[in-house]
Structure 1
């Protein structure tokens, strides 16, 4: 049965329920993960997930090999990620919905990566697994029946091409691009943190903590609110002249999703982010506070 519309940013629990009822070509992806306990996401998935959802792992499926110089969660090759998605049963005609239980940070990384792969019909469940539970909708446990092999292949990139450290080094002098850091204000200002081998931030960056994209109940704020606050973070630059980064290229994708929701298109991701930047002591560091 054909879908009534495609969702390309976020989807409400009510709309997702309708997609299920319609019998749409739908793929649900559980992105649950915990940086402090990498096996917890998989455990939580087995305990209870949206019916038919497949699990994807940040470090095993959504990251390439880290070598100490390319950040904690470097991107895999697009061909490798496409193979992962075919194994999960993804076809090119599917609406894909991702969710997690962490405010959408891992689901947003997946959203960005699927658009990087060339698939537009991908959205994040606004409010995550919790809103599904609160709506009285069922979960299932264990592993679903294996999916038939999918057919998705890399297509035209639907997000800006990822940025490397060399381009950011050149930007220190030109100032043509505005770097926006998604980490919390204390890490940005240079307070020590267990995830940062070096405290501080990229010189010239502004700070936009990803959690500020959400309201008090954990759902995305309105496009108007988001647009107003991102204009401040952009410091006079247009969205397509912005570079999004964080600690390792994960929460920066939450800012990418929020900007897309606000109609502010064209921001590019620095996947290596702070963990790559600080792997080379020749790269400068700024501190505030």
Structure 2
């Protein structure tokens, strides 16, 4: 089954007992806005998980602006909401799927495969006059035992190594060239941020502007259609056609959130070895010795 589900698919299964719907709405710079929106109205039966309080750890010296939550801490939070190892989770937000994709990635990192993203998010659901409510469900706690998948994650040392290999291997950062032209199965770094942030021209969130040397720029929103749904597998395969499918890929963004839709899109396009650099750019620049590239 695809990683995303349609609104009509969810409507037909809205009250199935093995399913938990999770509202992941969150607005950067307005940390209470997501929860307030949830309390005002949400999809019936939905529980709420906050990007910064539930889907991240407290910010430290390293780890970026949204450090990964500790597996046992997140597992305990999920269990309290009635999410167990056999639950089916459908996540949604109103931010083009970026926060829902963060939960999708985290659950799979904890070894849970039955997790999906609602196409179009809350606004599209409401626009079709599907049911909404302000009632907050009472959930019976469950048991969630995490089975961490470390192969899904890349740390800063691994990113440094890939960056050095990529630069020395002769790829042209900032252009969509096939890395196989430079070296067979050379690891690939993908920067998921908007083009101006990648180039270092418009950085409003982090202390330094630019990108990790050797990284290619694939803006995460380019994986979606105008209505906020993800492009088809065929469209995404074409979108990423210049990348070597035999290469390992590490995806990053500003803080490990908007990289997650790109991870989903790459997997949908048929890439098998895709890892997330969770700390992303905000972690990279927390190490003074790490080099920074700007421009093309």
Q: TM-score, normalised by structure 2?
A: 0.89
Mean CA deviation greater in 179-188 or 208-217: 208-217
Counterpart contact for 2:210–2:295, Cα < 8 Å = yes
Mean CA deviation greater in 160-169 or 41-50: 160-169
Residue 262 of structure 2 corresponds to which residue in structure 1? 255
Mean CA deviation greater in 258-267 or 181-190: 258-267
Superposition map of 1:1-289 within 5 A = 7=1, 9-20=3-14, 23-145=16-138, 147-155=139-147, 157=149, 160-175=151-166, 176-232=186-242, 234=243, 236=244, 238=246, 241-288=248-295
In the alignment, structure 1 segments of 5+ residues that lack a partner are 1-6
CA–CA separation in structure 1 for the residues paired with 2:152 and 2:228 = 29
CA–CA separation in structure 1 for the residues paired with 2:289 and 2:147 = 36
Counterpart contact for 2:27–2:33, Cα < 8 Å = yes
CA–CA separation in structure 2 for the residues paired with 1:173 and 1:185 = 22
CA–CA separation in structure 2 for the residues paired with 1:172 and 1:25 = 43
Counterpart contact for 1:226–1:259, Cα < 8 Å = yes
Counterpart contact for 1:160–1:269, Cα < 8 Å = no
Counterpart contact for 2:82–2:140, Cα < 8 Å = yes
Q: 3-state DSSP class of the match of 1:269?
A: strand
Q: CA RMSD in A?
A: 1.5
Residue 174 of structure 2 corresponds to which residue in structure 1? none
In the alignment, structure 2 segments of 5+ residues that lack a partner are 167-185
Counterpart contact for 1:109–1:250, Cα < 8 Å = yes
CA–CA separation in structure 2 for the residues paired with 1:20 and 1:141 = 16
CA–CA separation in structure 2 for the residues paired with 1:281 and 1:156 = 30
CA–CA separation in structure 1 for the residues paired with 2:127 and 2:28 = 25
CA–CA separation in structure 2 for the residues paired with 1:115 and 1:19 = 22
Q: Deviations over 1:196-254 (max 9, x none)?
A: 2111000000011111111111111111111111233x3x3536x00000000000001
Q: Deviations over 1:144-201 (max 9, x none)?
A: 22x11111110252x7331111111122333342110110000001113211211100
Q: Residue 142 of structure 1: CA displacement?
A: 4.4
Q: Deviations over 1:15-47 (max 9, x none)?
A: 1112226x3510000000001101100000011
Counterpart contact for 1:8–1:121, Cα < 8 Å = no
Q: Residue 8 of structure 1: CA displacement?
A: 5.3
Q: Residue 259 of structure 1: CA displacement?
A: 1.6
Q: 3-state DSSP class of the match of 2:73?
A: helix
Mean CA deviation greater in 254-263 or 206-215: 254-263
Q: How many residues align?
A: 277
